[in-house]
Amino acid sequence: MKITVYTIKDCAFSKQEKEYLNTNKLVFEEKDLETNKDFLTEMLAISNNFAGTPVTRVEKDDGTIAVLKGFTKAEFDTTFGFVAEVKPPVEAEVKPVVETPPAPPAESVSPAPVPTDLTDLATPAVEQPI
């Protein structure tokens, strides 16, 4: 596998990527765009004119080529085959359901009848002297 990284000195993503590659013991060639302007022309050609850094060209042993723009750990993990193994879910013990008997029906309550003669409601209950 051949890895070429196009970087600039003060790019935080370039630093993160180089740290990632070193941590994973991946050998790479660094091409600093600030020291050689021809590297910029190369980078723009392989990255479809992507103007950010880092740009990484990975030529795998099977001949396939991946061009990674920027740095995200997940994308690099996938490209280099470092994707974490997905473990199958743990099956929980299924306990039988105990059904409870239905509650007896509630007593039905009827509303109080509405008075039809409202004249008693119009007079005050207690008369006040004037």
The number of angstroms, rounded, from the C-alpha of 43 to the middle of its chain's C-alpha atoms is: 30
Strand order through the sheet with 2-7: 29-32, 2-7, 55-59, 65-69
Residue 117 pLDDT greater than 80, yes or no: no
Write the pLDDT tens digit of every residue in 53-111: 999 999 999 999 999 999 999 999 999 988 765 566 767 676 777 777 777 776 776 77
pTM above threshold 0.85: no
Domain ranges of the chain: 2-80
| Residue 9 and residue 32 in contact, taking contact as beta carbons nearer than 8 Å | yes
pLDDT exceeds cutoff 80 at 113? no
* pLDDT at position 121: 55
Specify the CATH number for 2-80; select among 3.40.50.720, 3.40.50.2300, 3.30.9.10, 3.40.30.10.
3.40.30.10
